[in-house]
Amino acid sequence: MADVADFARLAGREHGLSVVSTLRGDQTIQASVVNCGVLEHPVRGGPVIGFTTRGNARKLANLRVRPRLAVTVRAGWEWVTAEGRAELAGPDDPLDGVSAGGLRLLLRAVFTAAGGSHDDWDTYDRVMAEERRAAVLITPERVYSNR
């Protein structure tokens, strides 16, 4: 049985490039490509899969109403999928226990967990605020793979 460590291993091979699937109101699937990473939950600890998204993104609107999703990462012919419930943390989606300053650090943590780096964190923070970026944190309930 696969686990979140398997997800993290594959994500590290492909800069976290993953496909996220959410459910639209008409019960059809909406899929998009994001960069994911595994990090510690900012409030309760424990591993979560995280990605960031613009405040006006369709996937975020879907998750606000229907917070379940699947995320798949692949490298070569190997893949791992994690399913779970999304927690949102953003300027329009406050997460209990995460302050405005904590959100800034959380967005950085998600970015670096997905393999990102930045030479100018002040600019990064400004752009994230302008885009009203939110962190999406998935606690895996089911993880499976082709291995």
Q: Which CATH architecture has domain 4-143?
A: Roll (2.30)
User: Domain segments of the chain: what residues?
Assistant: 4-143
- Tell me the pLDDT of the chain (147 aa) as tens digits: 899 999 999 999 988 999 999 999 999 999 999 999 999 999 999 999 999 999 999 999 999 999 999 999 999 999 999 999 999 999 999 999 999 999 999 999 999 999 999 999 999 999 999 999 999 999 999 999 998
DSSP-assigned states of every residue in 47-116: EEEEEEE-TT-HHHHHHHHS-EEEEEEEETTEEEEEEEEEEEEBTTB--TT--HHHHHHHHHHHHHHTT-
pTM score of the predicted model: 0.96
